[in-house]
Structures are given as structure tokens and as C-alpha cells.
């Protein structure tokens, strides 16, 4: 292997206690006054607005991708407003608007250091000191992104725009600011829709994995020449509403210059009241993919012991309460999470520094990518950018998805017309199948759905495209 002065296999000397990426998203029910109204096909926007106004509700925004609207019911006369909307000739259905939270593993929840999207404090990134010299974090090196960046000619994601759906991005971070080409705040109650500044850290962490620059300091992302488009759908605690994501997708649907979306969160839709929303969510995802946009999403986090992984310390899980709607359902590694279960998206699970699949990573994925370990050894977590111009560490399926998004950005540099199906196939046929010696004892019977096609291999992917 060629020597690289900027590369390290494992970071040393990093002190932290961490709270990884997040928790079960699109969790929670309709306990607030937010609702999603879907209208019959052909209903004009004028009629939609009139129906909402006549119910006494407040229109937050129209959702063109699903022919619907997000609204806020009146605090007084709530039942009457709902009844009016449900009986209106133009209304197909009225749904709860689930609260969402960032996806990830929360290893420090037992000591109160982290949040899970359901009562936690929303802290997902642990600040650490910057590395003494610019480096490729172990995850970027492991997938082969460093190899193709240093090849001749180099492949670094030149000109590829990536929409990062998250808590925003630190607009002034020296590793990210030159790559940011715009963005917006999709949160309906935001005072300034143009302000996508990250006030949590989770989105900045994802952005750094995808595209931290080559600038002689800090870390290098998978595609350091890619362009970042920040879409703030989660607030300072890492929470948001489903309708805000639907609005964001509606906006991105109109942007022909943005082909790639990273979404490091999802939803269980675990209660009977929320399940009817599932076809609406799928229709939105299908609409985006049919436009040729490549959608990368994290699979989600669940079990922590004895379910296909290496969480020897038993720490973490998906927080204290699973997905925010009742825990991880008996530690089922196949627990349903949306939109990760949809075949139209590229669904990503996590891998560890030891090339195993950690117990927190739910099964049923297309590929896996570095998500890091839980436990006390901080060098096995994912080093990336943090708010305030700093650096931090994080673990979970969220950073795994960001690694894959960076890989797809590299592929799009070489083949701009790559379709969503072609991108998914390319990642899978060039991936390397991992063994899972801790599950079960006989590694030859390792469940295939635990890791999909295996660990992504950017070098092999680039070689396949060049052939």
C-alpha cells in the first residue's frame, strides 16, 4: 500500500464520551396541532387554501409532491376543524404529522449524555481536538476514497451537488464553507427560511464525511470537491416534522442541478394512527427517484446485543426508548424503518473498524459503510467536522449513509447521467462481503441480509466505471 502522509488507520489521543447520531425518526404521534392534508387529484391550490382557511386552521405550506398541505389546527375548536376537513369534497385524507429525530446510536444515554429523539437532549456529536495534521479518517480510507483522490487523474466529486437533509450545516466552517452553494430552512415555523445554519452539529458532521475539503487542516471527506446544498429539516434538538421533509423534497424536485440526496434519518411509523401515512411517504420518495435523483438513507439503529454484531459492552441501542414510539420491539434486527425499506432508495447499514457489522445496525440493507463502534475506545468512532469550526466524533448508521453518499458523488463525477438504479447496482456489485465471526459462531452461515452486498469499495467502483 502506498504511504500517505495525511492518512491514519486509527485516530489516537481523542478523548470523548459520545452520543452518536440519533434515533428513530418520524417517531411520535400527532399529539400537537400539526397535520398533513392530502387532496384529491386535480384539486387546485386555490381550493386547497380555501379548505384550510374555512376549517379555521393555519396553512403552513403546500406540498406539491403529494398534492397536499401541512397545516396547524386551531387550539380552540380542534375537533370541529378536523371534522370539517375530513368531510370536505376536495380532501382525500388528513394524517398526523409525526415528529422526527436524527438517526443514530446513542452510547452515552445511560449517563444522560445524549438524546434519542424521544426525550434525550439532542446532543449527537462529541467535540474533540483537531488532528495535528490533515488526515483521512479511518472510514474514508477504509472505503477506498483516499485511493481514488490520490490517483491520476484524481476523482474527488468535482462539481457534484449534494442535498444534505439534516440539522443544517455550519456556514462558516473552514472545511465546508467554500463547498456550500446554498440551502434553505424547511422548518415551517422558522423565522428565516433562508437560514440553514446548523444549531445542533449532526448535519455538519454528515457534511464533513461527505465533502470536507483538502485544505491542509483537519479531515478530508469522501468527495472533497463535491458541492453541498444544506436543507435544514431538523431543529436544534435534532427534531422536526414529517411534513417539513415532504416540503423539502418538493423543493428539491424542482432543482434539476441536484441529483443526490443524503437523509440520515427515518421513521418507524409504529402506531396504528401513523401507519396510514406510509403510502404518502412512499409516493413522495418514488416521485423523487422517478425524477432521476439518487436517494441515500440510513437503515436505522436497534438491537445492541446478540443480533449480528460486535457491541460487546452492550452500550447504546437506539437510545432509551428505541425509535421514540415504544422501544426496539424485542430487539428485532429487521425492525421496519421508512424510507429505508423502500427498494427505490439506497439503504445503508454500518460497519466497524474491525470490518464487522455492529449490533446496533438494523438488517435488510443494500450495502454497509463505516459507522463506527460503541464503547469506550473513541478511535473506533467516526471523526468529522463539528459546529463552531471544530471537530467531533459520532457513530451509527447515519455516518454510514454519509460515506455512501460521498461515494456516489465520486461516481457522478465520472458518469453524470448515472440513474438511481445504476448507482445502487454499481455499489452492490463492487462491494466486499464481510464475515461476522461473532454472529453466529460459524461465520460461514452469516446472514446475508445483515450487510447486503457488503462494505462499499470506492476504488473498485471507480475502476468499474472507467471500464
Out of 173, 202, 225, 241, which one is annotated catalytic?
Answer: 202
CB 38, CB 67: distance < 8 Å: yes
CA pair distance 301, 319, nearest whole angstrom = 9
- Give one DSSP letter per residue of 91-138, joined into a string: EEEEEE--EEE-B---TTGGGT----SSSS-----EEEPPPSS-BB-H
- Give one DSSP letter per residue of 211-237, joined into a string: H---SSSSB--SSTT-EEEEEE-S-TT
Q: Catalytic annotation on 398?
A: yes
Q: Which set of grid coordinates corresponds to residue 322?
A: 428505541
Out of 166, 244, 323, 366, which one is annotated catalytic?
Answer: 166
- Give one DSSP letter per residue of 233-294, joined into a string: -S-TTSEEEHHHHHHHHHHHTT-TT--EEEE---B---STTTGGGHHHHHHHHHHHHHTT-E
Tell me which H or E stretch contains 60.
strand 58-63
Measured in degrees and rounded to the nearest 5, phi and psi for residue 353 equal -65, -20
Q: Catalytic annotation on 366?
A: no
Q: How far out from the chain centre does Cα 12 lie? A: 27
CA distances from 454 to 32, 75, 351 (A): 41, 50, 9
Convert 405-417 to b/e letters by CB count within 10 Å (16 or more is b).
bbbbbbbbbbeee
Strand 126-128 versus strand 260-263 pairing type = unpaired
CA pair distance 264, 190, nearest whole angstrom = 21
CB 210, CB 228: distance < 8 Å: yes
Strand 161-166 versus strand 227-232 pairing type = parallel
Q: Catalytic annotation on 264?
A: no
Q: How many residues does the chain have?
A: 467
Q: Which set of grid coordinates corresponds to residue 438?
A: 461473532
Out of 55, 170, 398, 457, which one is annotated catalytic?
Answer: 398
What order of strands is seen across the sheet that includes strand 390-394? 126-128, 390-394, 382-386
CA pair distance 409, 430, nearest whole angstrom = 16
DSSP-derived letter for residue 24 is -
Which residues belong to the active site? Answer: 166, 202, 398
Amino acid at each position: 500500500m502506498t504511504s500517505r502522509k495525511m492518512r491514519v488507520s486509527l485516530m489516537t489521543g481523542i478523548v470523548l464520551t459520545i452520543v452518536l447520531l440519533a434515533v428513530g425518526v418520524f417517531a411520535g404521534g400527532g399529539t400537537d396541532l400539526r397535520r398533513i392534508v392530502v387532496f384529491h387529484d386535480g384539486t387546485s391550490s386555490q381550493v386547497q387554501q380555501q379548505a384550510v382557511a374555512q376549517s379555521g386552521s393555519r396553512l403552513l405550506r403546500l406540498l406539491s409532491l403529494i398534492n397536499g398541505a401541512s397545516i396547524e389546527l386551531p387550539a380552540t375548536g380542534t375537533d370541529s376543524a378536523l371534522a370539517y376537513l375530513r368531510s370536505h369534497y376536495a380532501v382525500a385524507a388528513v394524517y398526523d404529522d409525526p415528529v422526527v429525530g436524527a438517526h443514530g446510536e446513542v452510547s452515552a444515554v445511560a449517563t444522560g449524555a445524549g438524546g434519542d429523539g424521544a426525550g434525550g437532549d439532542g446532543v449527537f456529536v462529541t467535540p474533540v481536538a483537531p488532528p495535528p495534521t490533515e488526515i483521512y479518517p479511518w472510514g474514508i480510507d477504509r472505503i477506498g476514497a483516499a485511493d481514488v483522490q490520490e490517483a491520476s487523474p484524481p476523482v474527488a466529486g468535482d462539481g457534484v451537488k449534494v442535498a444534505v437533509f439534516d440539522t443544517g450545516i455550519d456556514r462558516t466552517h473552514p472545511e465546508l464553507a467554500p463547498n456550500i452553494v446554498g440551502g434553505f430552512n424547511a422548518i415551517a415555523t422558522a423565522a428565516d427560511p433562508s437560514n440553514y445554519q446548523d444549531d445542533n452539529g449532526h448535519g455538519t458532521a454528515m457534511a464533513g464525511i461527505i465533502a470536507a475539503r483538502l485544505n491542509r487542516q483537519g479531515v478530508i471527506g469522501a468527495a472533497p470537491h463535491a458541492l453541498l446544498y444544506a436543507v435544514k429539516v431538523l431543529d436544534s434538538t435534532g427534531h422536526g416534522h414529517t411534513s417539513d421533509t415532504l416540503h423539502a423534497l418538493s423543493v428539491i424536485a424542482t432543482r434539476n442541478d441536484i441529483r443526490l440526496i443524503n437523509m440520515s434519518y427515518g421513521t418507524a411509523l409504529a402506531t396504528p394512527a401513523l401507519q396510514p401515512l406510509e403510502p404518502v411517504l412512499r409516493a413522495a420518495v418514488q416521485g423523487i427517484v422517478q425524477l432521476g435523483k439518487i436517494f441515500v438513507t440510513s437503515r436505522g439503529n436497534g438491537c445492541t446485543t446478540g443480533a449480528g454484531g460486535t457491541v460487546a459492552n452492550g452500550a447504546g441501542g437506539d437510545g432509551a426508548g428505541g425509535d421514540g414510539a415504544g422501544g426496539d420491539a424485542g430487539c428485532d434486527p429487521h425492525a421496519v424503518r421508512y424510507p429505508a425499506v423502500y427498494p427505490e432508495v439506497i439503504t445503508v447499514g454500518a460497519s466497524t473498524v474491525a470490518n464487522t457489522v455492529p449490533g446496533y445496525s438494523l438488517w435488510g440493507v443494500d450495502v454497509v459503510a463505516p459507522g463506527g463502534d460503541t464503547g469506550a475506545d473513541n478511535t473506533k468512532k467516526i471523526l468529522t467536522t463539528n459546529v463552531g469550526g471544530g471537530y467531533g466524533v459520532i457513530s451509527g448508521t447515519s455516518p454510514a449513509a454519509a460515506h455512501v453518499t460521498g461515494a456516489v458523488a465520486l461516481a457522478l463525477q465520472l458518469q453524470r447521467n448515472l440513474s438511481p438504479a445504476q448507482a445502487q447496482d454499481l455499489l452492490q456489485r463492487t462491494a466486499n462481503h464481510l464475515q461476522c465471526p461473532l454472529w453466529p459462531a460459524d461465520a460461514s452461515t452469516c446472514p446475508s441480509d445483515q450487510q447486503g452486498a457488503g462494505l462499499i469499495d470506492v476504488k473498485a467502483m471507480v475502476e468499474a466505471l472507467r471500464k
